[in-house]
């Protein structure tokens, strides 16, 4: 059995399953308080699914893009459990997990994750008859820029947009329909139930890697942020002169053993 953990947004998801079934799944509006609720939710899913901790053979966890805090909590929990249970961890992209909900679709699937500042992280996928294939890389897009490119793409194939970043596009989308720039028959907004990545889909995305010998050490997996956090941006701006001239020196910590009494 694989434990799936999804904490990239305000709605958390935990599931247990394998290649044959999803035994149990819990989806909760956590409000980014994952640190308080994640472990109890995992316990609940194991109990309702009648899965023992000893039955878990691996952990699938979303690594981003998404909420910086949520991703750190989810991945940190996955690493801690992997160490305690002695099982491997596979990190999967949030966009891959979103696209998994559209298997067998003849639409081009554009996954969008809220990036704040009127921007979204976006990636496109297409069903190849067996899996959802990514057709580009994950990038940060301005909302208007992305919609313009998707409208043009609709001339070649119908497009469905899915993900919590959709709320960033809705105003421009509605305006586009009003002005006749967007054909709602071809450019479709994904159903609300598919706007959030699910832990059960994270398990499905990770299964091929669990079946291979290409599983990295759990402690080496890092969140996929794409861009720096706001705190890092502010720090870089304050220290840009030192960084530009190469005069910035990384701080070092020196630990000395205190002399004992004689």
Smallest Cα–Cα separation from 158: which of 103, 109, 99? Answer: 109
Contact yes or no for 219/79 (Cβ under 8 A): yes
List residues bridging with 111 in a β-sheet. Answer: 123, 162
Please give the pLDDT value at position 100. 95
Q: How far apart are CA 224 and CA 50, in angstroms?
A: 32
Predicted TM-score (pTM) of the model is: 0.84
Residues 6+ away with beta carbon under 8 Å from 123: 93, 95, 99, 110, 111, 134, 136, 137, 138, 139
Sequential pLDDT tens for the chain (262 residues): 999 999 998 889 999 999 999 999 999 986 656 677 899 999 999 999 999 999 999 999 999 999 998 999 999 999 999 999 999 999 999 999 999 999 998 999 999 999 988 899 999 999 999 999 999 999 999 999 999 999 999 989 999 999 999 988 988 899 999 998 888 888 888 766 667 899 999 999 999 999 887 898 999 999 999 865 544 444 445 656 665 676 656 555 444 444 444 3
């Amino acid at each position: 059995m694989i434990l799936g953990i999804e904490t990239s947004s305000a709605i958390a998801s935990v599931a247990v399953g394998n290649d044959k079934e999803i035994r149990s799944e819990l989806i909760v509006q956590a409000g980014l308080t994952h640190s308080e609720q994640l472990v109890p939710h995992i316990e609940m899913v194991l109990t309702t699914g009648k899965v023992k901790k000893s039955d878990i053979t691996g952990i699938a966890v979303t690594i981003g893009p998404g909420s910086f805090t949520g991703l750190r909590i989810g991945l940190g929990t996955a690493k801690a459990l992997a160490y305690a249970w002695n099982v491997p961890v596979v990190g999967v992209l949030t966009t891959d997990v979103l696209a998994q909900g559209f298997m067998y679709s003849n639409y081009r699937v554009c996954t969008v994750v809220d990036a704040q500042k009127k921007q979204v992280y976006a990636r496109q996928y297409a069903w190849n008859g067996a899996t959802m294939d990514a057709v580009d890389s994950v990038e940060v897009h301005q909302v208007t820029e992305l919609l313009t490119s998707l409208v043009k793409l609709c001339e070649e194939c119908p497009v469905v947009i899915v993900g919590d970043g959709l709320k960033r596009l809705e105003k421009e989308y509605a305006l586009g329909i009003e002005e006749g720039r967007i054909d709602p028959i071809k450019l479709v907004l994904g159903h609300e139930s598919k706007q959030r990545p699910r832990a059960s889909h994270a398990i499905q995305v990770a299964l091929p890697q669990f079946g291979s010998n290409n599983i990295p050490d759990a402690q080496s997996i890092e969140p996929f942020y794409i861009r720096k956090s706001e705190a890092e941006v502010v720090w870089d701006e304050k220290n840009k002169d030192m960084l530009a001239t190469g005069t910035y020196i990384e701080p070092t910590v020196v630990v000395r053993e205190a002399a004992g009494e004689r």
